[in-house]
Structure 1
């Protein structure tokens, strides 16, 4: 025992740090070799890196690739990371590429190199919300959605800017809610369908967390944990190794129908005033 941590806790934490380091190192290698003249190839490689990491952890009952979801009236955009069931018929498959019906889609993830400017970020999140809404209303209400950004967040506004935009594109509809966002290696955002699950406000809410160097690993862990619903709660220590839990690192929140984000310190002050 040292510094209040056992050896196993310390090892799990370092393990998840190594996942984040692996993501960064692997995605950089192709760019080092071919430079910035082939951004399409680099972008596709970064998607493949995250698919490989998720594939190494998610249950074998799911397929991780890329592809499209065909609804009765429309087809999704091309999905960078499409997590689909292995136990239902497939419309089309060629290597990693799959075209499936909405009931097959378990999760969708968009991958970006860096944080887009506000207007572009809204377009990205709008696209994800449109796709997951189509899936949820045509076959799988439990489909999950996320946005994964590699480079550190360095634009004006902080995580509250992202929260404001993700709430806006949802239009107050739970069917459009985006579940996870990794905004670089430090900022993680998670949607809670019931705020009281994480001791914040009542009802659906997004929380932002400052997880220095661990946002990418926590994104992966949340995808795996949420996709695999039979995980035992007492096994969380292996997937979420921050001592005391990530809730200690909450910064901002916004409810599904809020007008603007608020700091968590205000939640604590309000609770203290009521006690």
Structure 2
């Protein structure tokens, strides 16, 4: 199986689908265009996630308040839902398995920081609700931002990681653990050192990569890994390119 080639075709598919609504309505209704881009990624994710995991958009509800709206809300279907109608869903924090913010384009680091703030706040809102449930690792849900296009370059990566540090404020609950920008730029937060063969905890660093035409594939399959890690770890070369990505490392920063 050529996983690298599959990742490249996935990038091409997302790129071709993302502008379908815009081509029909031009610039007359940007809200519909943005909602379509959310639909595209949700559809791709549904192809790969186990039946026990559902995807919608909506809110996480606590007794005193709701979260801010979540573009892609990944939740455990064995848990009860407070509200479900089409793609709109409302659940309690313990049902959440991941949250994703989707953007059409991120122009620069300042733009990223502004757009990622809601995601960091929502992650903290969810993870702080049940601290004992998530005590083993800094993050146990997928927290990601996906941008179809970007003006960011590799020389921006260190500043980008500094922005992630600022957003987190040394709080593991506010860590954005995955990000994809355009077709080739990807960030992952590692609890353990990916270059070490020995499992360890306490590493807690972001790594940024330049992965030509593979960022979307890494993003999507890391969602799968986050909810079905046992299966993925048993079949790593089916889910990720055999050559890995640490040789494509651009920058890194500690929590």
* Fold match by TM threshold 0.5: yes
Q: CA RMSD in A?
A: 2.0
**1:235 matched to 2:235:** yes
**1:179 matched to 2:177:** yes
Matches within 5 A, 1:113-262: 113-139=104-130, 141=134, 142-154=140-152, 158-194=156-192, 196-199=193-196, 203-241=203-241, 243-256=242-255
Between the aligned partners of 1:105 and 1:27, the Cα distance in structure 2 is 26
Name segments (4+ residues, structure 1) moved above 4 Å.
none
**1:82 matched to 2:73:** yes
> Offset of 1:45 from its aligned partner?
0.2
Q: Say which structure, 1 or 2, has more relative contact order (CA 8 Å, 6+ apart).
A: 2
Q: Secondary structure at the match of 1:53?
A: helix
Counterpart position of 1:262: none
Between the aligned partners of 2:129 and 2:92, the Cα distance in structure 1 is 9
User: May I ask how many residue pairs the two structures share in their alignment?
Assistant: 245
8 Å Cα contact 2:147/2:180 also seen in 1: yes
Instruction: Give CA deviations for 1:14-52 in whole Å, capped at 9, x if unaligned.
Output: 222111111111112111111122111000000000000
Counterpart position of 1:34: 25
8 Å Cα contact 2:108/2:151 also seen in 1: no
| CA pair 34-73 structure 1, distance change in 2 beyond 3 A | same
**1:48 matched to 2:65:** no
Q: Secondary structure at the match of 2:179?
A: strand
Structure 1, unaligned runs of 5 or more: 1-7, 257-275
TM, length-normalised to structure 1: 0.84
Q: Secondary structure at the match of 1:56?
A: helix
Between the aligned partners of 1:245 and 1:54, the Cα distance in structure 2 is 22
| CA pair 14-119 structure 1, distance change in 2 beyond 3 A | closer
Residue number among 1, 9, 17 corresponding to 1:18 in the alignment: 9
8 Å Cα contact 2:141/2:226 also seen in 1: no
- Select the structure that is richer in strand: 2
> Offset of 1:157 from its aligned partner?
5.1
Between the aligned partners of 2:129 and 2:149, the Cα distance in structure 1 is 34
- Residues 158-167 or 170-179, more deviating: 158-167
- Residues 46-55 or 110-119, more deviating: 110-119
Q: Secondary structure at the match of 1:216?
A: helix
Instruction: Give CA deviations for 1:38-95 in whole Å, capped at 9, x if unaligned.
Output: 1110000000000000000011101111010012333111100000110111100100
Between the aligned partners of 1:230 and 1:131, the Cα distance in structure 2 is 27
Between the aligned partners of 2:30 and 2:141, the Cα distance in structure 1 is 30
